[in-house]
Structure 1
Amino acid sequence: MTGQDAGGGDRTYSSSVVVRATPEAVYDLVSDVTRTGEWSPVCRACWWDDDGGPEVGAWFTGSNEEPGRTWETRSQVIVADRGREFAWVVGGDRVHWTFRMEPVDDGTRLTESWEFLPAGIAFFHERYGEAAEQQIAQRTRAAHQGIPVTLDAVRRLAEAG
């Protein structure tokens, strides 16, 4: 597994792992948001809004939990390219998440990327005022720590079939 800051300070992050499964099988797993609770250290459950599915424009809701705090988010799918990429934006413009699949000799290189977008930073300043930077730093740490955990869990699930 590798990790790197993809630019823009620590408000952008990505990491990769090789999964012994086809890109299509990996895509089918990560694009099934109803299974997110099986791999995410923060998101406990997700469901499609309005009987949606993994297609561009679809919305889903996630139930998140950290010690002492629970909340829900709504996200919109922005890329749904089977075997290549599945991406969504939390709140429509706040945080961008992507799973990319690339075929390699041993299976699939799965890369998860995260970016705290300018509208998300502005939202946190509006919502939390003087505590905004602390809240932003907390979410940033959670993403940096959570992505490798998520990738390892997805790898285990995909390889188990």
Structure 2
Amino acid sequence: MNVEIPRLEHQIEIDAPPAKVWELISDVRRMNEWSPQVTSTRLRAGYDTVALGTEFTNRNQHQGQEWTTHATIVRFEPEQALAFRVAENGMVWAYELTPLGDSGTLLTQRREAPEGVSELAAGFVESHLGGAGTFMPAVAAGGRETLEALKAAAEAP
């Protein structure tokens, strides 16, 4: 049985073209530079580049707890969209780029669980991460922080 969770979505306008924003988000190995929850990302053995089907491992942290997740790139459309599915909880994290004028980008970050979250994953949140009432707001805040960090990096000279 799976547990339903709310979809998260954040957007930010970036004063940089989609190509520059894509350069940053398309290399998931750099996610620890933007996300306050991710401490490291490594491509799984056998993968040298990030593309559709690439598998990778994240080390995550929250309030002194650390855990590992495994993900697969499920959407990879250069300068348009990147999405990955986390094996342990079924979450899909997506980033979509929309051109704004001649040199800007609207970056949308979305997290959804199309099939719900497993009871095992929900139980881990309850037993190790302070419960949904604490962890989910932290995830939402982390999503906003991630977009702010991406914006700063893309707009840097």
What TM-score range do you get, normalising by the shorter chain?
0.7 to 0.9
Distance 1:140 1:117, change over 3 A: farther
2:121 matches 1:124: yes
**Matching residue of 2:70:** 74
Of 149, 152, 156, which aligns to 1:153? 149
- TM-score in terms of structure 1 length: 0.82
**Matching residue of 2:38:** 43
TM-superposed CA distance for 1:13, in Å, is: 1.1
Task: List, as ranges, runs of 4+ consecutive aligned residues in structure 1 with deviation greater than 4 Å.
Answer: 127-132
What amino acid maps onto 1:30 in structure 2? I
Higher share of residues assigned helix: 1
Distance 1:100 1:92, change over 3 A: farther
Aligned residues: 151
Looking at structure 1, the residues matched to 91 and 106 of structure 2 have their Cα atoms a distance apart, in angstroms, of 23
**Matching residue of 2:108:** 111
Looking at structure 1, the residues matched to 84 and 17 of structure 2 have their Cα atoms a distance apart, in angstroms, of 22
Looking at structure 2, the residues matched to 39 and 109 of structure 1 have their Cα atoms a distance apart, in angstroms, of 17
- RMSD between aligned residues: 2.4
What amino acid maps onto 1:116 in structure 2? A
Which stretch of the first structure deviates more once superposed, 72-81 or 24-33? 24-33
**Matching residue of 1:5:** none
TM-superposed CA distance for 1:10, in Å, is: 5.9
2:136 matches 1:140: yes
Looking at structure 2, the residues matched to 129 and 103 of structure 1 have their Cα atoms a distance apart, in angstroms, of 36
Which stretch of the first structure deviates more once superposed, 80-89 or 29-38? 29-38
Distance 1:130 1:144, change over 3 A: closer
Looking at structure 1, the residues matched to 149 and 59 of structure 2 have their Cα atoms a distance apart, in angstroms, of 18
TM-superposed CA distance for 1:124, in Å, is: 2.5
**Matching residue of 2:60:** 64
Contact map agreement 1:124 1:136 (CA 8 A) in 2? no
Instruction: State the SS of the aligned residue for 1:11.
Output: coil
Please list every run of 5 or more consecutive structure 1 residues that lacks an aligned counterpart in the other structure.
1-8
Distance 1:45 1:129, change over 3 A: closer
**Matching residue of 1:4:** none
TM-superposed CA distance for 1:131, in Å, is: 5.2
TM-superposed CA distance for 1:63, in Å, is: 0.7
